[in-house]
């Protein structure tokens, strides 16, 4: 089968590799028909995630058709059209029983701090991802969700990660009616976080980024205010001025470890790798939020350490909440929001690229060329059936 193949930092290609097979009675094999490139895939692409092995197929946002099921699978059948949450999870461990599916303890022998994720290095379990024609889906009775017939495939594929992660970012901000929410990052997750903040009753939503075309998009898509941090001298001071010198009620980090905006952070975190990425946005969040405010983190950071002003967080009495999204628990509500017309996630898709051109797709997304916001890869078999 054709699959994306990682060859080293900034180098990927589409290549034939062995098709996956049933390795566990609870597995399913899914024929992929949509696979997105996620912003967090870029951390792998840039070589920042430890234990990213050459030959790995990335891709944790995908939909497809069930091709084969293991003997113990009961909730899925061959031919079902499914969306597959990016979390691999068992459904039975201590954490899954509490709906903390992203923290599942039974699917990742290589680390105890993080659960399982498709195509996201051996640090998250060593599973191949969905940027391929076929993918192995473990625990098929609990992970995949059958796509309702009235749901567009392009909307469905964004329900596998980007939209639920954005929603959970807003939800972890514990937004109360009328509160001011600042979202750092106008990538797909930041865009969905801004939109979701309104659903949770925010009174004011401000999105910060440095890419003008993305700010223009989010302004229209999420009806929010925007700030280009390149036009601002001191980010925290600017947010204070915008909020009567109180600070925002909620700040959301939807950027993670490759943030721009602070030379020292970028040098030590991204170039020299002396910390687990640039913690610029964490710094801004802590210093821009009001005393007693809430900081929600969904941007991805590495496993070592980061330089952040934790003393300010203590002195201000902040609540810091963070996690990988537990997609499955959010899906029923988010599907309802789409069906009710509150949001059309597929509007963020700007590029639809054949899987064969995966190297160009990564480069376009990584370098933000051609006003790219979200890229969908289409495998050749799916392209033929469209």
Partner 1 sequence: MDTSTTTTPDSMEAAGTAAAANAANSGNAAPARQVPARYAHIPGWGADLDHANRPAYPMERMPARLEGDHSHPPVPQAQTVEILQSIERPSMTPLFGTPQPPSGASGMLRRVAFRYSESDLRHWLLLLLADRVNMFEGLGCDLARGHVPNLFAEMGGKAEFKHNREAAIRKAVLVSTVVALALVLRKSSGDRRRLQHRSRRLSRYD
Instruction: Spell out where the chain has E strands.
Output: 2-8, 11-16, 28-37, 62-69, 81-84, 87-88, 116-117, 134-137, 145-146, 180-184, 204-209, 225-228, 248-253, 289-297, 319-322, 349-354, 374-378
Nearer to partner 1, 112 or 385 (CB): 112
Q: How far is the CB of 349 from partner 1 (least distance, A)?
A: 17
- Tell me whether residue 175 or residue 235 sits nearer to partner 1 (CB atom): 175
| Closest CB to partner 1 among residues 118, 284 | 118
Nearest approach in angstroms of CB 140 to partner 1 is: 11
Q: How far is Cα 65 from Cα 77, in angstroms, rounded to an integer?
A: 10
The CA distance from 44 to 58, in Å, is 8
Least distance (Å) from partner 1 to the CB of residue 233? Answer: 28
The least CB distance from residue 205 to partner 1, in Å, is 9
Distance CA 134, CA 206 (A): 40
| Closer CB to partner 1, 233 or 341, in the complex | 341
- How many Å apart are CA 217 and CA 228, to the nearest integer? 13
CA distance 236 to 261: 12
Measured from the CB atom, is 236 or 254 closer to partner 1? 254
Closer CB to partner 1, 237 or 267, in the complex: 267
Are the C-beta atoms of residues 184 and 257 closer than 8 Å to each other? no
Contact 159, 328 (CB under 8 A): no
Smallest distance, Å, CB 220 to partner 1? 12
Instruction: Quote the least distance from Cβ 236 to partner 1, whole Å.
Output: 26
């Amino acid at each position: 089968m054709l699959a994306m193949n990682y060859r080293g930092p900034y180098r990927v290609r589409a290549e034939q590799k062995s098709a996956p097979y049933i390795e566990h009675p609870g597995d399913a094999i899914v024929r992929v028909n949509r696979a997105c490139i996620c912003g967090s895939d870029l951390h792998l692409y840039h070589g920042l995630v430890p234990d990213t092995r050459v030959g790995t197929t990335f891709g944790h946002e995908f939909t497809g058709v069930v091709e084969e099921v293991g003997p113990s699978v009961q909730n899925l059948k061959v031919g079902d059209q499914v969306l597959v949450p990016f979390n691999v999870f068992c459904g039975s461990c201590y954490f899954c029983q509490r709906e903390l599916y992203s923290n599942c303890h039974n699917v990742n022998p290589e680390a105890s701090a993080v659960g399982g994720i498709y195509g996201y290095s051996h640090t998250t379990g060593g599973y191949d991802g969905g940027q391929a024609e076929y993918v192995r889906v473990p625990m098929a009775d609990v992970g995949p969700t059958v796509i309702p017939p009235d749901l567009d495939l392009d909307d469905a594929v964004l329900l596998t990660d980007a939209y639920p992660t954005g929603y959970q970012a807003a939800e972890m901000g514990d937004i109360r009616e009328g509160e001011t929410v600042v979202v750092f990052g106008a990538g797909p997750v930041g865009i969905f976080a801004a939109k979701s903040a309104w659903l949770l009753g925010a009174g004011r939503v401000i999105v910060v980024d440095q890419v003008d075309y993305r700010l223009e998009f989010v302004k229209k898509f999420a009806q929010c205010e925007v700030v280009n941090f390149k036009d601002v001298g001191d980010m925290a001071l600017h947010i204070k001025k915008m909020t009567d010198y109180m600070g925002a009620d909620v700040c959301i980090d939807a950027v993670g470890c490759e943030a721009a905006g602070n030379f020292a952070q970028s040098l030590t975190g991204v170039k020299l790798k002396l910390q687990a990425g640039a913690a610029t946005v964490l710094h801004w969040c802590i210093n821009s939020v009001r005393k007693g405010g809430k900081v929600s983190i969904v941007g991805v950071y590495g496993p070592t350490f980061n330089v952040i002003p934790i003393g300010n967080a203590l002195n201000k009495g902040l609540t810091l909440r963070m996690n990988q999204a537990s997609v499955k628990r959010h899906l029923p509500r988010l599907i309802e929001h789409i069906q009710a017309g509150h949001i059309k996630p597929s509007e963020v898709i700007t590029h639809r690229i054949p899987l064969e051109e995966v190297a160009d797709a990564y480069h376009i997304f990584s370098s933000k060329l051609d006003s790219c916001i979200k890229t969908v890869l289409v495998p050749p078999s799916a392209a033929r059936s469209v």
